[in-house]
Structure 1
Amino acid sequence: MADIHYDATLTDFLTAAVARFPQRPATYFAGQTLTYGELDAQVAAAAGALREMGVRPGDRVAILLPNCPQHVVAFFAILRLGAVVVEHNPRYTAHELTPLLAHHGARVAIAWEDIAPTISAHVETTISVSLSAPLPLNSTPVEAHPAALADAALILYTSGTTARPKGVVLTHGNLAANCLQLETQAPLRAGHERFLAALPMFHSYGLTMSVLLAVRCAAEIILLAAPHTDTVTAALVARRPTWMPGVPTIYERAMAAAPAAAGSSAPTDLGGVRYSISGAASLPSRIIDPWEARTGGMLVEGYGLTETSPVLTINPLDDTRRAGTIGLPLPDTQLRIGNPQDLGRTQPDGEAGEILARGPQVFSGYLADAPANAAAFHDGWFRTGDMGVREPDGHIRLVGRIKEIIITGGFNVYPGEVEEALTSHPDIAQAAVVGVPRSDGSEDVAACMVLAPGAQLDEPALRAHCRGLLARYKVPQRFFAMDELAGDQLGKLRRRDVQRDLLALLGQD
């Protein structure tokens, strides 16, 4: 594998794409296309307008937009000035946004018209954006500010499920490095790929994997304002993307929405996607073969966090990939499985511990949060908070979050391991494993499940199934069928929220 030269910024990515492929489609949205040349012209004009508003290098500018060309233009216009993008979910409430806006202190916000009135009292200037009109920023074009790799490019706020949200500061070097690392994993053809951007740009997964990497290889970005099943399926059929980052539910629902043609054993009506990457939630093995049969491409799982730009590992996009694992570390990425009692020691292969990471994509710290920064690192290694096991061949397997470990009878039970066993049963569509406190201070292992269509809850059968795959102490003592499980917009389980809902149901809240 060739050495990676980490010498390009995100603005360099766009400059290179425009120079090589000015007539190549850059974005596709609602039937309209922007070429790379047109995108660059809009970026330069928008940067000029922002400069007239007083935006200077190092300033923070908030974006609250769904996926759309205006979002891409605004993102690169801010970077063109040497300023810092702060991404927010455009569907957040004023209650959710107010402390975040106060924390980062952006004076200018570029917001979807639906939310612009909500935030106008919290920033000096709010630019309201309609998805059916060009970005309302147009002035004398400006040249790009010479950014350095160490310059902040983006601030993203963590979800705040276990504590208050923290502002993750990612540099040009962090984000560009992750794109360059990912580029080594697949033979992406400059100027010939089509990326499906169904995941939101206000998440690091959607931004890096669907947009920044796309610009790096001058791909067409097929932008979906929301990952609704009908729009995803329509884009797969009509636009035939070649690269698709997603989450398990997106793949499963797309297949259900476009059933196999009668009499065809391996239809390719969703064909064209050469590489599909799944993240944010464990990828059930039952999805992989049908998806690959329907597309003719590959579906593999990867892993990362907002703090790592986001990708740390990915399964090889070849026959050496291993379903059920999160793959191997990206180039120049070091992962270590730390002993839970002494993070300075590394666990032997096959034993669980906290995943610690180092690499050019790993952030340096949170915005104005010294206590969080002190807790986030151990001797220069980023603490992911995830428990994992390194297999003898180097593949990593996730077993759960540290704070979600269930202690039963003196044994540690890792939810991810039990969930994998449960979802391998044909009656289980989705599972979340949580602890239910007992009077002795221990916990029962409880399985909260969404059943497959037409299935009935059969506790003895499920218990027997799990006993064939797990040590006895890991087998759930209690089973609960639910209509849905709490999750975020990417479909990632919120086990803490599932546990809260279950305890409320049991009267133990």
Structure 2
Amino acid sequence: MKPTDLGTLFDDLVDRGVSTVVELSRPLDIAPDHGTTYDVGELAALVRGAAGWLHAAGVRPGDRVAVVKENHWDYVLLACAAARVGAVPALLSDHLTPETLQLLLKRLDPALLVTTHAVLDHARDNETDLMGFARRTLTLDGPHPGALDLDRLRGHEPPRPVSRDPDDPLVVNHTSGTTGTPKLVMHSTRTLIHGLAATEAARLPVVSSKPTDTVCSALAYCHGRAIPWTASVLWLAPRKVVVIADADGAEPVLRAHPPTTLEALPSIFVRWQPLAERADNPFRDVRLYVSTFDAMHPPTVRAFLGATARRPLWVQVWGQTETGPLTFRFLTRRSVAERDARHPSTRNLGRPVPGRMRLRVVDPRTFRPVPAGQPGLVLARTKVRCLGYVGEQERWDAKVVGGWWNTGDVGVRTRTGAYLLLDREVDVIPGQSCVELEDVIEDRLPSVVECVILGTPGELPVPVLVTDGGALDRRGWAHALRDLPALADPIVLTWDEIPRTGTGKVRRMELRTLIRRGHDTFGSGRWT
């Protein structure tokens, strides 16, 4: 038996007798007075209660419910509650600009906007009225002029769970938006629950949660990974689940509940790297690391694999919101230990998910397959591809080529069947790989927390280097460039000066504006 329904997920877990304890890094925004420890029965009751107040707020089957708030796991609980009453939750990051939120809400036309004072006030300060793009607005943190007050809706009895066709819209998540306005990706029960979540809920050696595990997650819970992660991990019933809402300040909860498996955003792994390098780090019991969302660079992987007293495994997953996982690769201490390698890199993405994913590399002009070893656009064929883009269906249609999905990534298929990531098509530099250059520079310069290479026609590629203090050892920089292609003088910034998405990815177009390099790129950006 596998997860079958998002709306009744937690009730189904109760019926299965799952006794997992959930520990939170801070109280949920929808239950600020409860504390930070839950059992599955309490979570099921919380979802039913939220379904009751959504229904009392006027939400009905087929409606869209937009959620914009601070990052926390209650994004997922609200999605379950909305699905329970037959609505379609649309989960939006509060890291999006007010202008972007306004555009996405206009495309969604939600019956209800669930949000907070901070989101509404920030939008107002930027001359944007988000409430004008939803029929009703509900604030989670007290009364707000023109909005429904949550305290007046609590206690309403929820209606019976509403069933829906497995191919009907279930959830809307947005893409990261590194190259522009995020797309609103719509999934169904068949793709998100029967496909992605159920696949992960199968008990597999090493990579699946065990009954003795303490499973820790530090994700952006509004994004497409959060719901399949929640459903599959709890279905496997580990001893404990630890949910980190905020990367900064997470050390106490990590020490109180040392994880045995850890999945985090790449940006969070980077921020926690100094902690992992300490002798008293809280990762001593980790047997399994999982990374998705973005490329991981060798120094960070090496630091976490070296932090544990176990024999750990790192699972690097490449995927997209539209498709779920595309490839996976196992990394070990040995595979990332070659410090003296000429160009250490983790851009080998491994192989497609067996039996569920097919990939091909094609010429970007003709879309004809290219031989192994030759770069091209990577296309994917999968049964769990999303239904479309809300408000931009023509954009979605343009990315489907004869049943194949255009990922917008440029890569190479090796003769062994593995795939090497070169770059996003919009970020590509002819004859080079920004991802590889970033790997090498970060590996050679430990003081560089993050490196971003930006290419512009007619100019040398510009390296933007992130350091803790905004300073750079110029002698070390010159030595790091010894066998690399010519680069422009580096621009050195701090972490907080870099424009980022809700998942910590760099907003490259905004970064170009920040450093005054314009928006001209070698890539077309046609398939972003």
User: TM-score range, shorter-chain basis?
Assistant: 0.7 to 0.9
Is contact 2:117–2:141 with CA below 8 Å preserved after alignment?
Answer: yes
Residue type of the partner of 1:54?
A: G
Distance 1:255 1:164 in 2: 30
Alignment of 1:28-177 (within 5 A): 28-30=24-26, 32-68=36-72, 70-116=74-120, 119-130=130-141, 137-176=154-193, 177=195
Distance 1:435 1:67 in 2: 32
Q: Residue 284 and residue 81 in structure 1: after superposition, are their counterparts in 2 closer, same or farther (change >3 A)?
A: same
Is contact 2:292–2:318 with CA below 8 Å preserved after alignment?
Answer: yes
Q: Which runs of 5+ in 1 are unaligned?
A: 262-266, 467-474
Alignment of 1:262-341 (within 5 A): 269-295=282-308, 296=310, 297-308=312-323, 310-316=324-330, 323-331=346-354, 332-341=356-365
Distance 1:352 1:16 in 2: 46
Distance 1:70 1:162 in 2: 28
Is contact 1:426–1:452 with CA below 8 Å preserved after alignment?
Answer: no
Is contact 2:180–2:509 with CA below 8 Å preserved after alignment?
Answer: no
Equivalent of residue 389 in structure 1, options 408, 412, 419 = 412
Q: Kindly report the root-mean-square deviation, in angstroms, between the aligned alpha carbons of the 2 structures.
A: 3.2
Q: Residue 414 and residue 93 in structure 1: after superposition, are their counterparts in 2 closer, same or farther (change >3 A)?
A: closer
Residue type of the partner of 2:416?
A: D
Equivalent of residue 200 in structure 1, options 220, 237, 245 = 220
Distance 1:88 1:436 in 2: 32
Greater Cα shift, 77-86 or 242-251: 242-251
Q: Residue 243 and residue 172 in structure 1: after superposition, are their counterparts in 2 closer, same or farther (change >3 A)?
A: farther
Distance 2:18 2:117 in 1: 30
Report the secondary structure of 1:421's partner residue. Answer: helix
Cα offset, 1:371, TM superposition: 2.2
Distance 2:328 2:76 in 1: 26
Distance 1:51 1:155 in 2: 19
Residue type of the partner of 1:395?
A: A
Q: Which runs of 5+ in 2 are unaligned?
A: 27-34, 124-129, 143-148, 337-345, 522-528
Cα offset, 1:102, TM superposition: 1.7
Cα offset, 1:384, TM superposition: 0.8
Q: Residue 462 and residue 32 in structure 1: after superposition, are their counterparts in 2 closer, same or farther (change >3 A)?
A: closer
Pair 1:445 & 2:461 matched: yes
Distance 1:129 1:446 in 2: 44
Cα offset, 1:268, TM superposition: 6.0
Cα offset, 1:192, TM superposition: 4.7
Residue type of the partner of 2:13?
A: A
Per-residue deviation, residues 285-316 of structure 1 (Å, max 9, x unmatched): 122232122133322321112212x3222213
Report the secondary structure of 1:57's partner residue. Answer: coil
Is contact 2:445–2:480 with CA below 8 Å preserved after alignment?
Answer: no
Is contact 1:8–1:149 with CA below 8 Å preserved after alignment?
Answer: no
Greater Cα shift, 379-388 or 245-254: 245-254
1:348 aligned residue: 371
Is contact 1:13–1:216 with CA below 8 Å preserved after alignment?
Answer: no
Distance 1:456 1:69 in 2: 40
Is contact 2:7–2:81 with CA below 8 Å preserved after alignment?
Answer: no
Equivalent of residue 456 in structure 1, options 473, 477, 485 = 473
Is contact 2:265–2:291 with CA below 8 Å preserved after alignment?
Answer: yes
Per-residue deviation, residues 253-303 of structure 1 (Å, max 9, x unmatched): 324136533xxxxx6642233321123332121222321221333223211
Q: Residue 55 and residue 364 in structure 1: after superposition, are their counterparts in 2 closer, same or farther (change >3 A)?
A: same
Q: Residue 318 and residue 449 in structure 1: after superposition, are their counterparts in 2 closer, same or farther (change >3 A)?
A: closer
Report the secondary structure of 2:302's partner residue. Answer: helix
Cα offset, 1:221, TM superposition: 4.0
Q: Residue 189 and residue 162 in structure 1: after superposition, are their counterparts in 2 closer, same or farther (change >3 A)?
A: closer
Residue type of the partner of 2:327?
A: T
Q: Residue 361 and residue 254 in structure 1: after superposition, are their counterparts in 2 closer, same or farther (change >3 A)?
A: same
Residue type of the partner of 2:244?
A: L
Residue type of the partner of 2:104?
A: L
2:487 aligned residue: 477
Distance 1:203 1:260 in 2: 31
Is contact 2:207–2:288 with CA below 8 Å preserved after alignment?
Answer: no
Report the secondary structure of 1:170's partner residue. Answer: strand
Cα offset, 1:13, TM superposition: 4.1
Distance 1:279 1:72 in 2: 18
Distance 2:3 2:334 in 1: 30
Cα offset, 1:105, TM superposition: 0.8
Q: TM-score, normalised by structure 1?
A: 0.83
Distance 1:258 1:53 in 2: 45
1:264 aligned residue: none
Q: Percent identity?
A: 23
1:470 aligned residue: none
2:449 aligned residue: 429
Cα offset, 1:61, TM superposition: 0.7
Q: Residue 338 and residue 14 in structure 1: after superposition, are their counterparts in 2 closer, same or farther (change >3 A)?
A: farther
Cα offset, 1:324, TM superposition: 3.7
Aligned pairs, number: 476
Q: Residue 74 and residue 374 in structure 1: after superposition, are their counterparts in 2 closer, same or farther (change >3 A)?
A: closer
Residue type of the partner of 1:363?
A: C
Q: Residue 448 and residue 259 in structure 1: after superposition, are their counterparts in 2 closer, same or farther (change >3 A)?
A: closer
Is contact 2:96–2:501 with CA below 8 Å preserved after alignment?
Answer: no
Q: TM-score, normalised by structure 2?
A: 0.80
Distance 1:111 1:250 in 2: 25
Report the secondary structure of 1:356's partner residue. Answer: strand
Cα offset, 1:47, TM superposition: 1.6
Residue type of the partner of 1:18?
A: V
Is contact 1:406–1:413 with CA below 8 Å preserved after alignment?
Answer: yes
